[in-house]
Amino acid sequence: MMQKRWKPLLLVALLLLPLLQGCGTAEGGIAVRELNQLNVVMLTGVDYDPKHKKFIITIQSVKPSREKGAAVKPESVYTARATGDTIMEASKNLRAQTSGKLVWFYSRVIIFGETLVKQHVMREVIDFFARNREIRYSSWVLISKGAAEDIVTAQPNSEVMMGYELVGIINNQGEWGRTVVVSQRDLINNYANPYIGFVTGQVKKIKGKDKKDKIIIEDAVVLNSFNPRDPIYNNVLDKKDVRALRMFQKFSKQEPEFVYSVLLDKKSERKFDTAVQIKIDNRKIKSVIENGRPKIMIDLFVQGTILESGAHVDIGKENTVIELERRIQNKIVGDMKKLLAKMQKEKVDIFEFSSIIHRQHKKYWREHKQHWREIYPNIPVHISIHWTNLRSGMINQAKAGEAR
């Protein structure tokens, strides 16, 4: 009997469901928003005006197409800007001036302006993004050279919108290790750790050969939360420094490929005559405590492929291969030690040595972590390169004396 009574009520509920989905209130009723009522944010820029002490948010969003799989059209791309005394106020002001509902679920890139970093107000901004449930933790975070607003509003190089442009550049550069770009999740975690520094890519606008503005991601910016009184440190790493940093750490699932050029023929008038592509097969890092002091030992297992050689030597000979390996590994170790010396001098642990010692020597870390600022600059680091393979590649090398 009970089942018979429930069937008519269930039928009525199913008939009313479409009507219920079309209604709702701001207080939280059942509601389904039409696509034309949304502005999907793809790119966010945050700046700070120190003169007026205002935060500035600039976004680039897109109106979703009603047609499945339809390409984004230029007329559907929308840019907006708002300011506020706090980052939250700027966010509310931004929402108040847009006709559509702003949604951040698909945002892929966040840009922090150079002034924002240097004015030491990033803590509030990072806290805001950490608490915002709409923004994906997998979003990439970049630091702009100049204002983030200038990047967000710039004309993309080849895509219909800047958000797509930056994601494409990040993915392409990841294959060759030209920069390091941190995710929002890693930014939040690293910033909360008072013992380490972290690095992310720098985006900037330059003039191309055709005199037109061009957006590039080049070099990287060092951020430091080491000193609570001075939470942000700003320094720029060039592409050689970034390459060395990626030798110290694995930043992506797939190790990038690096190209090292050396002089193999002593009689050559060129600065470099041989280029070798290097990829890390394995990386082993361990720490030991000697006489009450930590020491870091890094073993890199690498493979290489000769991409080109203009040297008048026989690359097939064992002695030549050994010499080539020696020169490449000297260059790798030299670059790594140069970056290490630079960061130890500035007392910025971008190599996460503190985390290594914490994991491997918990008792030592508990007793000495309060002195890490004094310990880190004096930690000796031993780096060893082990060759798993060096392929000659597909080259037909001319013998000495032959016409070239």
**Which residue is it, tokens 């939040």?**
188
Dist. CA 165–CA 150, nearest whole Å: 15
Burial class (CB in 10 A: 0-12, 13-18, 19+), 264: buried
| Domain identity same for 231 and 261 | no
Per-residue pLDDT, averaged over 242-264, amounts to 90
Angle at 328 between CA 327 and CA 333, to 5 degrees: 100
- Per-residue pLDDT, 395: 53
CA terminus-to-terminus distance, the chain: 98
Average pLDDT, the chain: 83
Dist. CA 357–CA 47, nearest whole Å: 36
1 within domain boundaries: no
- Per-residue pLDDT, 317: 87
Beta pairing partners, 102: 39
Most confident listed range (20-34, 97-111, 151-165, 378-392): 378-392
Q: How confident is the model at residue 399 (pLDDT cuts 50, 70, 90)?
A: very low
What CATH number should be reported for the domain holding residue 274? 3.30.300.210
pLDDT at 12 over 60: no
**Which residue is it, tokens 């915002």?**
132
| Domain identity same for 217 and 267 | no
Report which of residues 375 and 397 the model is more confident about: 375
pLDDT at 124 over 50: yes
Tokens for 192?
A: 């909360």
| Domain identity same for 71 and 164 | yes
Percent of the chain scored above 90 by pLDDT? 45
Percent of the chain scored above 70 by pLDDT? 82
pLDDT at 300 over 90: yes
Q: What is the CA radius of gyration of the chain?
A: 27
Q: How confident is the model at residue 324 (pLDDT cuts 50, 70, 90)?
A: very high
- Per-residue pLDDT, 73: 66
149-162 confidence digits (pLDDT tens): 999 999 888 888 89
Dist. CA 272–CA 380, nearest whole Å: 31
Domain interval for residue 202: 34-237
- Could you tell me if residue 62 is left (phi over 0), alpha (psi between -120 and 50 degrees) or otherwise beta? beta
Q: How confident is the model at residue 58 (pLDDT cuts 50, 70, 90)?
A: very high
| Domain identity same for 204 and 347 | no
- Per-residue pLDDT, 17: 44
- Per-residue pLDDT, 225: 60
| Domain identity same for 216 and 288 | no
- Per-residue pLDDT, 36: 57
Dist. CA 364–CA 275, nearest whole Å: 44
Report which of residues 40 and 329 the model is more confident about: 329
Per-residue pLDDT, averaged over 250-277, amounts to 87
pLDDT at 13 over 50: no
- Per-residue pLDDT, 75: 64
State how far the alpha carbon of 359 is from the alpha carbons of 201, 295, 300, 355, 356, in Å.
28, 14, 20, 6, 5
| Domain identity same for 222 and 264 | no
**Domain end: 178, 207, 237, which one?**
237
| Domain identity same for 188 and 327 | no
Please give the model's pTM, rounded to 2 decimal places.
0.81
- Per-residue pLDDT, 349: 92
222-237 confidence digits (pLDDT tens): 887 655 445 455 688 9
Total Cβ atoms within 10 A of residue 225: 22
317 within domain boundaries: yes
Per-residue pLDDT, averaged over 40-50, amounts to 93
pLDDT at 16 over 70: no
Q: Report residue 35 CA to chain centroid gap.
A: 32
19 within domain boundaries: no
Burial class (CB in 10 A: 0-12, 13-18, 19+), 7: exposed
10 within domain boundaries: no
CB-based contacts of 249: which residues, under 8 Å, 6+ apart? 351, 352
68-110 confidence digits (pLDDT tens): 555 566 667 888 999 999 999 999 999 888 777 888 888 889 9
- Could you tell me if residue 44 is left (phi over 0), alpha (psi between -120 and 50 degrees) or otherwise beta? beta
State the greatest distance between any 2 C-alpha atoms of the chain, in Å, as a whole number: 103
Of the CA atoms within 13 Å of residue 345, those in its CB half-sphere come to 7
| Domain identity same for 171 and 320 | no
**Domain end: 206, 237, 268, which one?**
237
| Domain identity same for 288 and 383 | yes
pLDDT at 11 over 60: no
Per-residue pLDDT, averaged over 196-202, amounts to 89
- Per-residue pLDDT, 22: 43
**Which residue is it, tokens 């945002």?**
107
> How many structural domains comprise the chain?
2
Q: How confident is the model at residue 355 (pLDDT cuts 50, 70, 90)?
A: very high
**Domain end: 208, 237, 266, which one?**
237
| Domain identity same for 228 and 258 | no
111 within domain boundaries: yes
